[in-house]
């Protein structure tokens, strides 16, 4: 499929989705949100794909937020639809069953930070700045930012970021645990592909189970979450890939997972 506001690049079992509105610092307008939803859906249903990267065009911005020009013209009902559409996209990414890496190459503000928060792993370039500046626009984050940030950072730091609207630099975001790693701007893309290929070589059923356990466990009681983990462990033990992985270890060879 071709898109107006995205480019798609595939290398083996990895797909990279790049938001392509560099003149607007890759701000998410309605069309881009819809296209991202379509691209993630396609990647989810394609069994040959095992990992995704999401990034932004250019070196200045990952995504500088939802498109403020479009927000400016929304009435309350349209605003509700817009927020729901953004939230749906973030849920779709979280629940796609394949690892999604955000390669944060510059500003990740507002909806851009919310997009990064919905990805399973975030790595960034050293010029990245992350923040939720909606308060400066008379708004609050509407694509899940208040809830995901609370869960990731705890109440104090989440409140600080959201109430002040002030972005943090990459080093602080790494220190706070929002970023798994920070690279130079030159290195980021290669590092994202390398990590994605590494993840793509893992057993897909186990990968999907891990994402489900971590993703869904957070909002469950510990007892229910541990029970879920047991069921997923048993599911993995019924897979050919588990036999392959354990046999490969015992026979001192590299495993080759086929996804069944």
Q: Shortest Cβ distance from residue 109 to ligand COA (Å)?
A: 4
107 vs 183, beta carbon nearer ligand COA:
107
Phi first, then psi: give them for residue 60, nearest 5 degrees.
-90, -35
Rounded to 5 degrees, what angle do the CA atoms 53, 57, 59 make? 105
Catalytic status, residue 223: no
Neighbours of 4 (CB within 10 A): 9
Residue 129, phi then psi, degrees to nearest 5 = -135, 130
Q: Which listed residue (69, 220, 224, 237) binds ligand COA by CB under 6 A?
A: 69
Task: Say how many residues touch ligand COA, by CB under 6 A.
Answer: 16
* Residue closer to ligand COA (CB basis): 86 or 204: 86
Q: Does residue 56 belong to the site contacting ligand COA (CB under 6 A)?
A: no
Choose the catalytic residue: 59, 114, 187, 240. Answer: 114
Window of 65-73, 147-155, 201-209, 223-231 that interacts with ligand COA by CB under 6 A: 65-73
187 catalytic per annotation: no
Buried b (16+ CB within 10 A) or exposed e, 67-100: beebbeeeeeeeeeebbebbbebbebbbebbbbb
DSSP 133-156: GGGGGT----SSHHHHHHHHH-HH
Q: Using the rule CB under 6 A, which residue among 107, 183, 193, 257 binds ligand COA?
A: 107
The DSSP secondary-structure symbol of 219 reads: T
Nearest distance in Å: CB 130, ligand COA:
11
Give, as ranges, the residues between 120 and 139 that touch ligand COA (CB under 6 A): 133-134, 137
Task: Say if residues 158 and 149 touch (Cβ distance below 8 Å).
Answer: yes
Q: Which of 41, 134, 174, 212 is catalytic?
A: 134
Active site amino acids? 114, 134
């Amino acid at each position: 499929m071709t898109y107006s506001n995205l480019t798609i690049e595939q290398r083996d079992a990895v797909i990279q989705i790049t938001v392509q509105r560099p003149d607007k610092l890759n701000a998410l307008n309605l069309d881009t949100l819809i296209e991202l939803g379509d691209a993630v859906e396609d990647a989810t249903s394609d069994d040959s794909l095992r990992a995704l990267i999401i990034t932004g065009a250019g070196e200045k911005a990952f995504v500088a937020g939802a498109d403020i020009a479009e927000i400016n013209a929304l009435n309350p009902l349209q605003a509700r639809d817009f927020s729901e559409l953004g939230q749906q996209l973030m849920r779709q990414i979280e629940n796609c069953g394949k690892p999604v890496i955000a390669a944060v190459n510059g500003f990740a503000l507002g909806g851009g930070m919310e997009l990064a928060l919905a990805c399973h792993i975030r790595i960034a370039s050293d010029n990245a700045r992350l923040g939720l500046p909606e308060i400066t626009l008379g708004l609050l984050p509407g694509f899940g930012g208040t809830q995901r940030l609370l869960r990731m950072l705890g109440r104090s730091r989440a409140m600080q970021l959201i109430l002040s609207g002030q972005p943090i630099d990459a080093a602080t975001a790494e220190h706070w645990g929002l970023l798994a790693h920070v690279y130079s701007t030159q290195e980021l893309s290669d590092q994202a592909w390398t990590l994605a290929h590494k993840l793509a070589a893992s057993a897909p059923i186990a990968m999907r189970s891990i994402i489900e356990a971590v993703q869904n466990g957070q909002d469950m009681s510990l007892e229910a979450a541990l029970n879920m983990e047991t069921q997923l462990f048993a599911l993995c033990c019924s897979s050919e890939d588990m036999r392959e992985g354990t046999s490969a270890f015992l026979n001192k060879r590299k495993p080759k997972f086929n996804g069944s």
